[in-house]
Each structure stands twice: as structure tokens, then as C-alpha cells.
Homo-oligomer: A and B are copies of this chain.
Amino acid sequence: VTIYDVADHAGVAISTVSRVLNESPDVSEPTRKRVEQAIAELKYHPNRTARSLAQQEYRSFAVALPSFTAPFQNELLKGVRSLLREIDHDLLVCDLGSTNQMESLRRFLDRGAVSGLLVCGIELTDELAEELSGARSPAVLVGHSHPGFDSWTWDEAQGAQDAVAHLIQEGHKEIMMITSSVDTPLQSERIAGYQRAMNAAGLSETDQRLVSGTIDYHSGYSEEDGYDAMIQILDNHSACTAVFCCSDVHAVGALKALRERNVSVPDGMALVGYDDVKTSRFIGLSSVDQSAQKIGYAAAKRLHERIKGPLDMAVEHHVIAPSLQVRSSSKSS
């Protein structure tokens, strides 16, 4: 049942049907009624695809991220969703599974047109960045920056340092860190933050205090990884009283391990997971801080503005954990 059927049924031309669909004022009341009735009787629903094609407007954002079930990503999506609801757009989720995320993203791009793209938690290679610039829809970055792109980032090292300082302040001395089984620049920064906090308090931060899982999955940022690492800690480091996880995903896995071994949190073992922005959050405490949500909203909004009118300056927003003060620095695109 297409627009033609409706037109026939109402005894008008398709353009007239189109007009009532798009709430044009140039339709007389009687014909509008007739058309609306025809639509109802035929249970007609316009074809979103055809409409997109005709007016070159896709009314949908794609969000590319690794595993949308991580707490942080989840909150981020909430924020994005809020904006999308305001502007009546759809949400296309592209989670770039475990293995080669770049390839997944590229394949997704090949799939075609959306209004805009939000790239979260993925470091852009120069090559991929060029592809994105060439794409017909603009992109906004979250968690990484790249010249020429709008982005939202935060101070990874400082965030990690704050988290560990929090544990220290609570009286812990034997603090270990669960790292990812895969080396990434992101992780290096978080480790650096951990070390700074430990050093500042005069505590040991030898390599033996860094434990990573052995399972390589989701680029090393997986629950399995965290689970695995926590088991190691429980088996080999009985003195440890607190653990800082280099990601919230790890913390979820670590919690699972603690459960299995009947270790309570935080009394038996204090646990802090880095959730990318507000670090001093205990996993299991509550839904994550709203920072992530705000970032999601802001990034989506920026994307929308870029789609509407071509802004020619890419802005890098640097978010300072944990209170979400924003320090913007513009760069020429």
C-alpha cells in the first residue's frame, strides 16, 4: 500500500497526499479530510526509505562504539537518545565487536547514508579519518580527538589518579590495578595516573601490582578480562585490599569474581572502576554519573548543528573530571 493507493482511494493526486502527510497549509479542508480518511482506511504508512531518498534527509544518527553494554557507553547512549528525541531522529547502533573495530566501522560506512556519525571510544587512524572526512555525513568524536573533527575528550591520567587517590584516602595501601590485556595509549595514561597517585602517597607501584587478564576480547576491554585478573589477585595477592580497574567493564567482571569467592564489596575488597569521566564511582553503587549522559547529549547536539548549517571550525572539548567543567579549544578544520 503506497501513496498511489491512497491517492486513488481518495480520488486525488499523489502530490496532494504528500501535502497532507507533510502538513502543508495548501490543502483545502474537505480534501484533507478525504485523504486522511483514506490513509486510515488503508492503514497506510509512508515509506521512510523513499522519503529519505527524495528529500536527501536521513533523519538518523549512527553511533559507533565498542560494546554498547558497558556502563559508560550505556549512559552516553542515553544522552544521545535525549537529543535524538528532541529532533525526531532515529538511532542506529553500530557496536564494533571484539575484533578489528576499524574494519567493522568501515563496513558500516560502506552500508551507506545516515545524517551523522558519532564515533566513541575508538582511536582514529589517519587513514580512517580521511575516509570519514570524505563521507557524506559529518562525524563527531567522543573519547579521542583528531585534527579537523569535533571531539569530546577528558584527562585520562588525571581521572585515574583521582580514583586511586580516593582509595588511598580511605586508608588503603595495598592497592592493585587491573589493566587490559592489550596495550593501548589510553591504558598507558591510566596506568600513569595510578602510578602518580601511588607515588604521591609514597606507596609501592611496582609492576607486580599491575595485573591483567589473559583473555583477549573486545580489544582487551572485556568483563572476562576483569574477571580473570581478579581471580589472579585473589589467588596470589592476599594482602591486597583495594583494586583500581582500568575500565568499568573490567570492574563488572572483577565484581563477578568477588561474588564467586564470597568476598564482599567494599568491606572485603574495595573496588573502583574507571568509567571514563567520573572515576570515583564504585561499581554497583548506582547508575553511572550523569557526565557521560551530558557528553552524549552535547556531542549529538553538535553533530546536529553541523548537519544543519556547515560550521567550519572543529572544536575540541576537553572535559575535566569529575565535575564536568568544560574547557573548549578550537582548532581550524
Contacts and interface: CB of A to CB of B under 8 A. Distances in A.
A237 to B, nearest CB: 21
Chain A at the B interface: mostly helix, strand, loop or mixed?
mixed
B92 A90 contact: yes
A264 interface: yes
Contacts of A60: 92
Interface residues of A, number: 54
Contact of A286 (B74, B131, B259): B259
Q: A74, A111, A255: which has the most chain B beta carbons within 10 Å?
A: A111
A110 B78 CA distance: 23
A255 B285 CA distance: 6
Interface in A32-67: 43, 45-53, 58-60
A91 B97 CA distance: 14
A267 interface: yes
A15 interface: no
Contacts of A94: 90-91
A136 interface: yes
Contact of A43 (B52, B92, B131, B252): B131
A10 interface: no
Nearest to A97: B85
A255 B255 CA distance: 15
Interface string A104-119: 0000011111000000
Q: A45, A50, A51, A110: which has the most chain B beta carbons within 10 Å?
A: A45
A69 interface: yes
A272 to B, nearest CB: 13
